[in-house]
Structure 1
Amino acid sequence: MAETTTDVARGEASEGRTTAGVDTDALFEQSEIAADYVEGLLDILDTDGDIDELVKDDRPIVEVVGEGLNQLVGPGGATLEALQELTRLAVFRKTGEHSRLMLDIGGFRSSRRAELQALAKKVADEVAQYGNPVRLDPMNAFERKCVHDVINARKDVASESEGTEPDRRVIVSPA
């Protein structure tokens, strides 16, 4: 069944300390609640997976690693998005606070982040060279943020989101 481990950073960041006004203990509490919830789901589904909980960039993260987790990711990460929302609701029920928790299963988000960073760089280079804005396909919030982060690191291009969910997209234009 599922195994839970806590990232070693907890020992370093714990003891009631805050980073940039963020209570790291509260974030670790959120990741623990989320990990327990995900572990329960894995048990119900009779699916094996190791669960790692950590806090990175002032955000609680739960990662599930193992074989045969694709059904929990779903097409284009749709199932993963739904599971993340359910997990955030579980955290909210226990803490009474909204969570920015990120759930990653089978490394899907890290792989997708790398793909989107490459796409954003390619589009940014194209926009900078030719001067024509580019409208990307609709993306979820995580995907849009990955693109915006790459674009915002550059001075020659800019990005903005337009539209409403689920058709919200990024537009990259010359700065």
Structure 2
Amino acid sequence: MKKVVATAKTIDDAVQKALQELAVPRDKVSVRVLEEPSKGLFGLIGTRDAKVEVEYNIDPVEQGLAFLKEVLKNMNVNARVESRHAEDGILFDIQGDNLGIIIGRRGQTLDSLQYLVNVVANRHVDKHVRITLDAENYRLRRKETLEHLAERTAQKALHTKREIRLEPMSAAERKIIHAFLQKRPDVVTYSEGEEPHRYIVIAPKEA
């Protein structure tokens, strides 16, 4: 939130002064009158200006969306972004052609961009909003790939009766594998290592 206190001869003038300083439209702010204007004795002595507190009601989703569109423009990526509610927050779905540059190797660019969007969106708000970025349905495709990997690795761990280490993954990807294998009574999973090289271990569950 951003707040500005402004004074002027009238309340309206004080509000306009604050709006100019904030550089936002009237419908994006709330106004609290701190002091009413008064003319004083004979309209001359003891004259008091109006004082108002104008608070910019920042919309984190709008902030994040504007930042993302600016980044895409600077990257010369011709794409549109659809914003919609998801289970754990807000989803920014990037739609267009040849979005590989946005996704990057194993989604690393997409994850980095998602982090920046969340930082920008939430820097001036008290209540954090979680924003997820997706492009070309990458998140779902990657989730399916990780679940297949988890299933194959679990079967191999049971067959060899040995624990198996997967390659380092992001926290979000590790969470997918932990959740997928949690329902199995015959294997256990846990994470080892330090970020960004933290990895999952899949092992047969002891009887």
CA distance in 2 between partners of 1:48 and 1:88 (Å): 22
Give unmatched runs, 5+ long, in structure 2: 1-58
Moved over 6 A (4+): none
Partner deviation per Cα, 1:115-163 (whole Å, 9 max, x = no partner): 1110001111222333211100001112111111111121211111111
Q: What does residue range 132-151 of structure 1 map to in structure 2 within 5 Å? A: 132-151=162-181
Question: How many residues of Structure 1 are paired with residues of Structure 2 in the alignment?
Answer: 147
Higher strand share: 2
- Structure showing greater radius of gyration is 2
Maintained 8 Å contact 1:54/1:62: yes
After TM superposition, the score normalised by the length of structure 1 is 0.74
Q: Residue 57 of structure 1: which of 64, 82, 87 is its match?
A: 87
Higher helix share: 1
Q: Alignment RMSD, CA only?
A: 2.0
CA shift digits 1:81-118 (9 cap, x unpaired): 21111111111214244444221123222221111110
Q: For the Cα contact (< 8 Å) 1:31–1:55, is it kept in 2?
A: no
Which stretch shows the higher mean deviation, 118-127 or 73-82?
Answer: 73-82
C-alpha distance in 2, partners of 1:34/1:172? 37
Structure 2 residue 171 is the aligned partner of structure 1 residue 171: no
Whole-Å Cα distance in 2 between the matches of residues 73 and 47 of structure 1?
A: 12
**Which residue of the partner structure matches residue 109 of structure 1?**
139
- Normalized against structure 2, the TM-score is what? 0.64
C-alpha distance after superposition, 1:14-66 (max 9, x if no partner): xxxxxxxxxxxxxxx65444333212222233322221223333232212121
SS in 2 for 1:118: helix
Q: Which runs of 5+ in 1 are unaligned?
A: 1-28
Partner in structure 2 of residue 7 of structure 1: none
1:36 is aligned to 2:66:
yes
Residues 31 and 62, structure 1, Cα contact 8 Å, conserved in 2:
no
1: CA distance between counterparts of 2:150 and 2:108?
21
1:71 and 2:108 matched:
no
Tell me the residue number matched to 1:14: none
- Are the counterparts in 2 of residues 65 and 107 from structure 1 also a CA contact under 8 Å? no
Change beyond 3 A, Cα 1:128–1:99: farther
Tell me how far apart the structure 2 counterparts of residues 60 and 163 of structure 1 sit (CA, whole Å). 31
Quick check: 162-171 or 45-54, which moved more? Answer: 45-54
Greater relative contact order: 1 or 2 (C-alpha under 8 angstroms, separation 6 or more)?
A: 1
Q: Which residue of 2 aligns with 1:12?
A: none
- Asked whether the 8 Å contact 1:127–1:173 carries over to 2, the reply is yes
Instruction: Give the alignment partner of residue 162 of structure 1, picking from 192, 196, 201.
Output: 192
Match of 2:123, SS state, is helix
